[in-house]
Amino acid sequence: MSDVVLMTLIVEINNGVSKRKVRCLLDSGSQRSYILKSTAEALNLKSTSSENIAHTLFGGATTDARCHKKYGVKVSPLGKGTLFEFDFLEQEVICGNMPRLPKEQILKELKELKRNKIWISDLGDGCPKIEMLLGSDVYSKVITGGVKQLKGGLTAVNTKLGWTKELIRDEGTLRELGSLPKTNSGEIL
């Protein structure tokens, strides 16, 4: 059995008048970034334009094209004043249940996290809904390059919006399959 916790974090979004904390998924496999329609409505965000998009899903299925309103959304890390503005398309549902990092996992790694000055914002029980997805159009703009491989399978990744994490815990073992033969000049045969 294996457990996988994807890269999520809590960020603040605002409309210039009010702020809201939202759970955000970083997904470099998505070409675009999305915000829940209900979140955009709750913050009274004003649409800047719209786009007709058909989504191609894992496995090759394609949805019918549908109109997505586009919003310029101000995003900041929790407790900090650094503000970024990115374009997001509205979406009724972003994804299904996305588990959080269990607190007991953090307790196991607490000394190492403190030593590396890593603070994880999205942890605890339950699966609160994902209200925002940062796709590849934004992903490379927020990743800082700071990555810490911790014991127990936890990988912490630093972003301009705070630390996020990935956990892949597998009861199996990692097996090296070998390497490809190379010529004297280093070319793979």
Strands (E) in 119-161, as ranges, are 132-134, 143-149, 154-159
- If one compares 108 and 131, the residue with the highest pLDDT of the two is 131
Higher pLDDT, 101 or 118: 118
The structure tokens 């994807």 sit at: 6
Domains of the chain: 5-167 (2.40.70.10)
Does residue 172 surpass a pLDDT of 80? no
Nearest to 31 by CA among 13, 10, 51, 47: 51
Model pLDDT, residue 173: 45
pLDDT of residue 120: 84
Mean pLDDT of 41-52: 93
Mean pLDDT in the chain? 83
11 in Cβ contact with 177 (< 8 Å)? no
Give the pLDDT of residue 185: 58
Q: Is the pLDDT of residue 36 over 70?
A: yes
Q: Please compute, for residue 90, the number of CA atoms within 13 A of its CA located in the half-sphere on the CB side.
A: 21
Do 47 and 180 meet the contact criterion of CB atoms below 8 Å apart?
A: no
Of 165 and 41, the structure prediction assigns the larger pLDDT to 41
**pTM for the structure as a whole:** 0.82
pLDDT at 174: 45
| Confidence band, pLDDT 50/70/90 cuts, at residue 56 | confident
Q: Are 26 and 9 in contact (CB under 8 A)?
A: yes
User: What band does 18 get if pLDDT is binned at 50, 70 and 90?
Assistant: confident
Band of pLDDT at residue 170, cut at 50, 70 and 90: low
